[in-house]
Amino acid sequence: MIPKTHRRVVLARRPAEEVAETDFRIEEAPVPAPGPREVLVRVIYLSLDPYMRGRMRDAASYAPPVGIGDVMTGGTVGEVVQSNHPGFRVGDIVEDRLGWQEYALGPGPALRWVDPSLAPISTANGVLGMPGMTAYFGLYEVGQPRAGETVVVSAASGAVGQIVGQLAKMAGCRAVGIAGGPRKCAFVRDTLGFDDCIDYKAQGDLAAAVKAACPGGVDVYFDNVGGVVSDAVFLNLNVWARVALCGSISQYNTTEPGPRLLGAFVGKRVTMRGFIVWDFSGKYGPALRQMGEWVRTGRITYKEDIVEGIENAPRAFIGLLRGDNFGKLQVKLGPDPSAR
């Protein structure tokens, strides 16, 4: 039964530095009725991702900011529960960008049908969705790894990082992760099969730890974090190294200065390139097919961190920015009909 009202999370105010729960507001709103050629989607999984911090800022970026009072933007996996569109049936599972809310009208701006027989549908927000594509294209197209090279990825147990290292192994590289705490590092090494993982929260000289884990230096650095972790990797880059700039989560809440390390990029001929997963959207098809096959056959594993209830989304997102999550963070907003 479709309820009369549902809950949604809107941006209450723009955070100055650290995001607080009071920057969000949970609202009760009427469930909208689909118009002609519209569908009503019940959101099952809401993806929480670092890029959302940028949308809370009132600044020009590659995507417009969320307005004050507007529903927070976000990737979602949901179920069509009402359809006035001939292409959709009730029960269809769709991935779309429908935001932090329990119900939404579709089709939205990023619609994709999800086949629930291939893998758990939550993976459409993860390894078989935006984070997986980010890892795939960021590593293979931006990082350009060659067999025998050393690939380092920061936030190695996160949604993107966990895939990057496995893809690096597949390409014949040495894969070294950087993650926070012994539990995450053990997972990265033992479950994901990275060659090594550095605990950036451990005592000691981080640059020396990178050097110890990468005795031949670093050829590809897939950067999700920026800041002091990246500084330590930059000091260990090899000649002709490539840096794929995917994100800089350590800098989203703060603005502390750092050492100037770009000078060494000249002699080392480092290529550093920022990218957005959308840049490769024309190539998602074959990449998703390939990744789906690897997931199905167990060559790529993944870890999700699923929080229940939309009321917990703000707190979970704040934890994400601090690295509290362990694996791809999602909020489960309601029952998953495909779950076994």
Q: What character string, x for contact with its own copies (CB under 8 A) and - otherwise, covers 140-179?
A: ----------------------------------------
Provide the minimum distance between the beta carbon of 248 and its own copies in the complex, in angstroms, as a whole number.
4
CA distance 93 to 106: 12
Provide the minimum distance between the beta carbon of 268 and its own copies in the complex, in angstroms, as a whole number.
6
Window of 123-131, 197-205, 254-262, 287-295 that interacts with its own copies by CB under 8 A: 254-262
**Which residue carries 């707190």 as its tokens?**
315
Among 5, 30, 62, 337, binds its own copies (CB under 8 A): 62
Half-sphere exposure of 234 (CA within 13 A, CB side): 21
Among 260, 282, 286, 297, binds its own copies (CB under 8 A): 260
For Cα atoms 303, 309, 312, give the angle at the middle one, nearest 5 degrees: 85
β-bridge pairing 271-274 and 237-245: parallel
Our finding on whether 238 is near its own copies (CB under 8 A) is no
CA distance 119 to 15: 37
H or E element: which one contains 273? strand 271-274
Provide the minimum distance between the beta carbon of 291 and its own copies in the complex, in angstroms, as a whole number.
22
Among 26, 27, 29, 54, binds its own copies (CB under 8 A): 54
Among 36, 86, 204, 267, binds its own copies (CB under 8 A): 267
C-alpha dist (Å) from residue 110 to 11, 94, 96, 152, 324: 21, 10, 5, 31, 28
Give the 3-state secondary structure of residue 51. coil
Q: Which two tokens stand for residue 30?
A: 């009427």
Our finding on whether 48 is near its own copies (CB under 8 A) is no
| CA dihedral for 74, 75, 77, 80, sign (positive or negative) | positive
Our finding on whether 281 is near its own copies (CB under 8 A) is no
Among 61, 191, 281, 312, binds its own copies (CB under 8 A): 61
**Residue ranges that bind its own copies, judged by CB under 8 A:** 54, 61-63, 226-227, 230, 239, 245-248, 251-252, 255-260, 262-263, 265-276, 279
